[in-house]
Amino acid sequence: MNILILGYGKMGKAIEEIAEDRGHTISHKININNTQALKFIDPKEVDVAIEFSQPGAAYENISYCLENNVPVVSGTTGWLDKKDEIDQLCMEKNGSFFYASNFSLGVNLFFKLSELLAQMMDQQPSYDPQIQEIHHTEKLDSPSGTAITLAEELIKNHSSKTEWINEPSEQENVLPIISKREPNVPGTHTISYTSDVDEIEIKHTAKSRTGFALGAVLVAEWILDKKGVLSMKDFMKF
């Protein structure tokens, strides 16, 4: 298939390598230096777009794809205040839009594990949950989209928490997310439940960007005959 890469940073380059290894063709690459070139691409030359750009560019990139009947797979975080508009546009255009805060298959298994653990710990009021995420210093948004997904799912399944905050908190109803930025860290997410006597912890550590890139390419292959607003729950059948 012919792939349009929107965002040609480290993730875009990793996606290119894996896609070509799997026999696909990168028909176009758009980055911060040639954003205007997107307007001149013939949509008929593109089977699917994979979008890992910047928060400020994601909305326009995804809108272009949906307006031109190009299925789009997006992993850009930091723009989700406009996601409802994109979802609506996708439905109006009978398009294909897939968003995930993290395309790693391991992370999505971790999401499911976290959901089940939250349901169990909801019956144990002596334990208080917290999320910590560590990423490379080049990551612009904080907390990570993965941490936000973890927090939102935990809140749905743990009755004592009604909101999250990106800093330490002693408020009983608030779930704290602690964000750290360190050199050369692809992504580490930890959920801990602490009581006066012990602590329960689950953690996912990414070894490289390869898992994220592979997941995005697998989803791009899968989405070609799909319609609607889709997510990793659809892909992994959770």
What type of residue is 39?
K
What is the C-alpha to C-alpha distance for residues 51 and 29, in angstroms, rounded to an integer? 10
Q: Is 139 a catalytic residue?
A: yes
Whether 204 is catalytic: no
Catalytic-labelled residue, pool 24, 28, 139, 204 = 139
Contacts of 42 (CB under 8 A, 6+ apart): none
**CA-based nearest residue to 148, from 135, 138, 160:** 135
What is d(CA 86, CA 229) in angstroms, rounded to the nearest whole number?
9
Helix or strand (DSSP H, E) at 111: helix 105-121
Phi and psi at residue 158, to the nearest 5°: -135, 110
Please give the radius of gyration of the chain, using alpha carbons only, rounded to the nearest integer: 19
Q: What is the edge-to-edge ordering of all strands in the sheet holding 228-230?
A: 25-30, 2-6, 48-51, 72-74, 96-99, 228-230
* DSSP-assigned letter for residue 65: H
C-alpha angle 77-121-181 in degrees, rounded to nearest 5: 30
55-87: b (≥16 Cβ within 10 Å) or e: eebbbebbbbbbebebbbbbbbbbbbeebeebe
Q: Which is catalytic among the residues 24, 28, 135, 204? A: 135
Active site residues: 135, 139
